[in-house]
Amino acid sequence: MPSRIALLIPLLASMPLPALSAGLPTAEDPSRGQGNGILQTIQNYGYDIVMLVALLVVSSMFVGVAYHAYTRYSEIHTGRATWGQFGLTVAVGALLLVVGIWMLTKATGVL
């Protein structure tokens, strides 16, 4: 008897189970809405993708400025840099971030 049960276990495990799709999330609409047709919907998804890439660019710019400021700060303690150079690094980095965000905002506005 136990050998028959042992033979049925792989058979039962390989049988398909009914899919329970009630708990699955639905696809989100693009931020600009569905649109009037498939082409406009694809363009709206493309806009969202471009906005995500712009966000990644600004994030990488921020990480780069923060890394450069940190290395300049560490150079102060070894005597290779001054507090004025650190302040200039932070000020120029902040200006670059503002210009980068402004340019990406203008660029995504074209879409």
Q: Does a structural domain hold residue 48? A: yes
pLDDT single digits (tens) 27-74: 888 888 888 888 998 988 988 999 999 999 999 999 999 999 999 999
Per DSSP, the residues of the chain read -HHHHHHHHHHHHTSPPPP-GGGSPPPPPPTT---SSHHHHHHHHHHHHHHHHHHHHHHHHHHHHHHHHHHHHHHHHHTSS-HHHHHHHHHHHHHHHHHHHHHHHHHHHH-
Q: Does a structural domain hold residue 9? A: no
pLDDT at 1: 56
Give the mean model confidence (pLDDT) for residues 72-82. Answer: 94
Q: Does a structural domain hold residue 4? A: no
Q: Does a structural domain hold residue 100? A: yes
Give the mean model confidence (pLDDT) for residues 100-105. Answer: 92
Q: Does a structural domain hold residue 5? A: no
Q: Does a structural domain hold residue 11? A: no
Domain extent for 96: 31-110
Q: Does a structural domain hold residue 63? A: yes
pLDDT at 91: 97
